[in-house]
Every structure is written in C-alpha cells, then in structure tokens.
Chains A and B, each alone.
Chain A
Amino acid sequence: MDLDLSEADEAFRTEVRDWLAAHVPATPLPSLESAEGFAAHRDWERELAADRWSVVSWPTEYGGRGASILHWLIFEEEYFAAGAPGRVSQNGIHLLAPTLFAHGTAEQRARVLPAMARGEVIWAQAWSEPESGSDLASLTSSARRAAGGWLLSGQKTWSSRAAFADRAFGLFRSDPDAGKPHHGLTYLMFPLDAEGVTVRPIGRLDGRPAFAELFLDEVFVPDEDVIGEPGQGWRIAMSTTGDERGLTLRSPGRFTAAADRLTALWHEHGDPADTALRDRVADAVIGARAYRLFSYAAASRVLHDEGAPAGAAASLNKIYWSELDIALHETALDLLGPYGELADHAPDSPAHGGWAEGYTFSLAGPIYAGTNEIQRDIVAERLLGLPKGRR
C-alpha cells in the first residue's frame, strides 16, 4: 500500500498545473446561472477543449486524453486548487456521456460527445416531474410512436441548467400498459428549442435560474435520439444515477481546495479562543482529507482490477460529500461573521472566494441525485442487508 505518485503521475500534475496557471481567468467569471455567465463559461469550455483538458478521462477520439481515473483525480485537484471556473458542461459530461459510452450507438457517440466536449452543446437533465422525485419510476411524461420517431408530451421539472442549455435527456413512459412502474420507459435526448417545448426558468434559493421546468407538447424526436432499446430506459438510466452519486460527480479536489481556503480563513480571521468553531474547522478539514483518501482507495480498486465499488457504495459517497460540502461552507460563513450573509455580488462582499454562492449550491446536495434519505435506505438495505420496509 502506498500513496506515492509515480514520476509519470507527477509529470501529469505539473502539466495540468502549468496549463491552468497560464489560462485560468484572473477575475472570476460571472455566475454560470446567468445568461452572461453561461456564455462566458461556454467560452471557457471551448478553451479547455482546445488543449484537450475538458474531458481528460474520455478516449482521444472524442476529445479526451484517455486519462486513468487517478489522473482524473489529479486533474480535478489541480483544477479546483487553481480556482478555475465551475463546469457548465457537467450534466452532459458526468451524466449523459457515461450512459452513451455504455449504451449509446457509435453514431450517437460521434455526433454527441465531441460537441459536448467543446461546450458547443450544453445539456440539461430532465428527470424529475412534479409528482416524481425520489420515486422516479412514477413518472408520467409520455413518448408516443410516430413515423420515424417519437412524440414527447408532459412536464419535467427541477431541470438543472435548462434555463440556458441547448438539449436535454430524460425518461419517458412509452408503454403505459407494461405492468410495473419501471417497465415500459424509454430514454431519449431532445432539443430545448424544438417546436412544442416551453422552458420556464425557476429561481433557485438565491434567485438565480439554476433550473427550469419544461412543458412538452407533442415534441418530435427522431429514432436516432433514443438511447438503448425502447422500453429499457429504467435499466439504462440507473447506470447513470450510479455515476451521478459515485466517484466521478464530486471529485475530492473540490473539497480539498475548499478545505485549504477554509484553513487559510481560520488562520486569518479565527479567534483562537473560540474552540467550538476551531473544532468545526478541523472536522471539515479532516472530512475533506477523508473523502480524498476514500476516493484514492476507490480509484485504486478500479486501477488494480479489484472490482469497481458496488453501485450501493456510491450512495455512501453521495451522503458523505453532500454533508461535507455544507459543513465546509457553513463553517466559512460563521468565520466571516457579519460578512457571512453578504451575497457574492454585494459591494462589501469580502474577496474570500465565493463562499455565499458555494453555500447556496451546497444546500442542494442532500436533495438532488436522490435524497440522502433514499441513499440511507439503499446503504442500509444493500450494504448492511437490513429488511425492506415502508419508506
């Protein structure tokens, strides 16, 4: 067992660090949850892609570098340590792309992935419906057969990035008589500017339109935009939700960078006599280290063919990072005292690196990608073997 990186790994880290030092914008981009910021972030995706840094773990033919999961972890550590912009492409990269790699056709991969890697097509996820959240299989939006494709109708909601995105992916009920709720579902991709689509942005807790609801009225989608077999959408989608909760959605780099900034904030502003706050700072810093080492262990299992972590292990991950993210940000706001409540764009806001928006974003963690209550059920039933019961 060791934690030492090889010379090649260190060389990769240096290459990433040097590129970021030369390219990361000196002043932060506007929030990606605004029209102006969305455009600026799209440009940043293009800049990353030009030097093949937008999707390092993908095969080279789609714009990646074929990097190992360890190099991906290193890339992410450097990315967040450099204070680089948030990734407007992340829904596509983390949710849709793994699904296409596993279940898409060669034609779909060639058509969708390079444009995604360059930020030309930004994807929104369209999973939830007003009555279907944690119980996703209860969804009612429909896909009806039409010549050469399908007609989509219904309503999707809490659709992240959809206020400004180009296309979306989601599940639709194609066979209402299939018997069980998770049978007869089809996984489809569709354009957000198509005839019959209405996008209504929804303000998030801080008022920014980070998500939207989508109204679909007989929206035509050609057969080439069905992912996998019609009717098999549930099985295909579940492989995606595992990715969403698992190793690749929230890299430890995000939290170690935040922990480093929190430590600096403590040494700068912390009252040494306030041991209660000191203990919380220490716990958040330790939590980030634990998450990093846990991820290295998981990556080692993948790299050394000792079996990928079980799907249910992704639930442990999801609970952990979502609660850690809140702890890091809450503690930072407490350290900032009277400045903690200022929005990042308030004139007096201290230049302490977006704690306000980060805090708002962190609050969603235990809610999305399957609520933490559902994740705890999964952990208890599948990892501990406890009997199923009423929810």
Chain B
Amino acid sequence: MRFLLDAEQREFARSLDGLLTSCDTPAAIRAWAAGDHAPGRALWARLAEAGVFALAVPERYGGFGPLPLDLSVAFAQVGRHAVPGPLVETVAAAALLDRLGDADAAGAHLPGIASGTTVASLCLTALGPYALDADAADTVLVVDGDTLRVGARPGPVQPSADPGRRLSRPSGGTVLAEGPAVAAAAAHAAGLAALATSAQSLGVGRALLARTVEYVKRRTQFGVPVGSFQAVKHRLADTLLALEFAEPLVHGAALALAAGSPDADRDVAAAKVTAGEAAYRAARTALQLHGAVGYTDELDLSLWIRKARPLRDAWGTPAACRARVLAA
C-alpha cells in the first residue's frame, strides 16, 4: 500500500498548474459568460494537448485511460484555476460512450474527445433538466430513462448563479441506444462526473483559501493585520481542515472506481458531499473575510465564490450523496 500520489502525478499537477497560471482564466470566464467561447476553447485546446481529456478515453480510441485518479489530479487544477466549460460533462460523455459497448458510437466521438476537438455536454434527466454549456458543445447527449439521444439542440441559455456555467434544456436529437445498457452506462458516467466534480471542488476550495490567507495578511484594521485575530484564524484553520480531510476521500473514491469496487458508488458519494461542502464553506469564509470587496463581481475572487455552490449540488446533491452512503 502506498496511498500517495506518485512523482509523475505530482509533476502532472504542477505542469497543469503552471500552464493554467499562464492563461488568463478570469478573462476567459468573463468572455464565456458573455457568449464568447473563443478564449475558453483556446484553453480547452491547451488542456487537451496536456492530455487531460485523453485520461477519460481508452487507448483504442486515441486516449490513455480511463484513469480516474489522474483525472482527479487534473480536475483539482481545473477547479483551482476556475476553468470554464463542460469539462466534467465531456469526460462523463466519454465514460458513457466507452461503457455502452457500441463500437460505432464510441469510434465516432471518443477520438475527438481525446484530442480536444470535440466538446461534449451530457444531461441525465434523472438528475436535472439542464445540460451545461450545450451552446458551446459540439455534441450534446441526453439520457432519458433508458434512452440515449445524441445531437440534441441546446435550448435558450438560462443564466446560472456562476457566470462560468451556462445552462439550457436540450431537445431533439437522434436515438443512439435504448435499454438497460444505457442505464448502466449512464450510472457509470454519473459516478465519474461526481468524482471529477469533487476534485474540481477541492481545487476551488484550495484557491479560495489561498487567496483569503494572502488577503488577511495584507489587510489591516485597528492597526494590525486582520489575520492576527483569533476569530479569523480559526475560520481559516477550519477551512484547511475540511479540505485536507476531503482530499483522501477523493483519492480513495478514484481508486475504488478504477478497481470497479462494489463500494465505488458509496465512496464517490462520500467524496462528493465532503469536497462539495468543504469548498462551499471555503467560499463563505472567503466572502466573510474579504468583507465588502468580496461581495463585488469586479474582484476575480467572485468567480470562485460563485462556482462553489453549483459544484456542491451538481452530479449529486449533498442529500442524495448522504443517502447513498447509508444505502445498505
């Protein structure tokens, strides 16, 4: 047993962090929110080049996956830098198409996903009526009961609380598959989506904590840095605590998914609720400790604050996850 990321995974995280630091992700989010997807697509291409989407695609379709743990490593960086776009939905679509057992369907979509030319969105109507960023996607998949449709059209954009997320109700499309295999593949895809969302939440939480720690060291009141006040320190200590103990749950869930463990669903649910709540608490703390300036959309911090809550609820609400943890 060696329950630690290996050197290669840590190097992968470092290189993604470096890559994304050199991109202006806040500008890409603001453009994305205004319907200009070009900067976001450029970011997408760079992530694809770094191999992020190939991690979800098997080798025979041009990827080197599926590797849930490496995907977790990548999505933590995606969250840390608040990258916009249906990244989770694209890797979940890959998982769905891979698991479906339809070689034609897989061959039609997976190579494009692996290389970054295909941006996909995925809507499981059992979880909610909206597809994320369908207006920016090359293909939209919808699972309704045990029917899978592809090529669904995005409906009018419904603004999300997070400007980096654009929701719409997909409609139409052609039926690609029907039956129990669809439901099973959709459940598998939902598990991977929940895992990737957990990792993304961790990254969002880490970014919020780091920015807030920097701020309270600089900001002075009553002649001293506000970070020297015990009430401030304790909130930040609790934020770190929650993130530190959520991370091994995410890694453990990734290993369970990779191994096809019978407990994978439970483990993913535990990771999802814990990472989602930790990031959301980090957002509340960041807002409180920044004070009024944190309540503005001018400060880039708002892009992370507004992301935390939707991620907490996407791909498995806290209540649904807690129920799954106790399901016998």
Contacts and interface: CB of A to CB of B under 8 A. Distances in A.
- The finding on whether chains A and B are genuine partners in a shared complex, rather than unrelated, reads yes
A379 interface: yes
A275 B230 contact: no
B1 interface: yes
A180 interface: no
Given A281-B326, A282-B326, A380-B236, A293 B252 contact: yes
Interface stretch (B2-10, B39-47, B157-165, B184-192): B2-10
Contacts of B245: 287, 290-291, 294, 320
A175 B238 CA distance: 39
Contacts of A299: 3
Interface in A265-307: 266-267, 275, 278-279, 281-283, 285-287, 289-291, 293-294, 296-297, 299-301, 303-304, 306
Given A376-B237, A386-B233, A296 B1 contact: yes
Given A1-B255, A291-B245, A384 B236 contact: yes
Interface string A2-36: 11111001000000000000000000000000000
A299 B3 CA distance: 8
A313 to B, nearest CB: 8
Interface size class of A (residues with CB under 8 A): 35 or more
A258 B108 CA distance: 50
B141 interface: no
Contacts of A376: 230, 233-234, 237-238
B236 A319 contact: no
Nearest to B9: A1
Contact of B241 (A2, A4, A263, A320): A320
Interface stretch (B52-60, B97-105, B221-229): B221-229
B319 A275 contact: yes
B228 A389 contact: yes
Contacts, number: 150
**Among the interface residues B217, B270, B274, which one has the most CB atoms of the partner chain A within 10 A?**
B270
B4 A294 contact: no
Instruction: Output the residue of A293, A303, A306, A388 with the most chain B CB within 10 A.
Output: A293
Nearest to B255: A3
B138 interface: no
A384 B240 contact: yes
Contacts of B4: 1, 297, 300-301, 304, 306
Given A294-B244, A381-B233, A391-B230, A282 B3 contact: no
Contacts of A289: 249, 252, 267, 270
A387 B225 contact: yes
B249 A283 contact: no
Given A290-B245, A377-B233, A279 B319 contact: yes
Contacts of A70: 1
A381 B233 CA distance: 8
Interface string A87-116: 000000000000000000000000000000
Interface string B288-328: 00000000000000000000000000000011011101101
30 contacts: A1-B5, A3-B252, A6-B1, A70-B1, A266-B326, A267-B326, A267-B328, A281-B326, A289-B270, A290-B246, A290-B270, A294-B248, A297-B248, A373-B234, A376-B233, A376-B238, A377-B230, A380-B233, A380-B234, A380-B236, A383-B237, A384-B209, A384-B240, A386-B216, A386-B227, A386-B236, A387-B228, A389-B229, A389-B230, A390-B230
Question: 9 nearest interchain CB pairs?
Answer: A389-B228, A380-B233, A293-B248, A282-B322, A379-B237, A376-B237, A386-B227, A296-B3, A387-B228
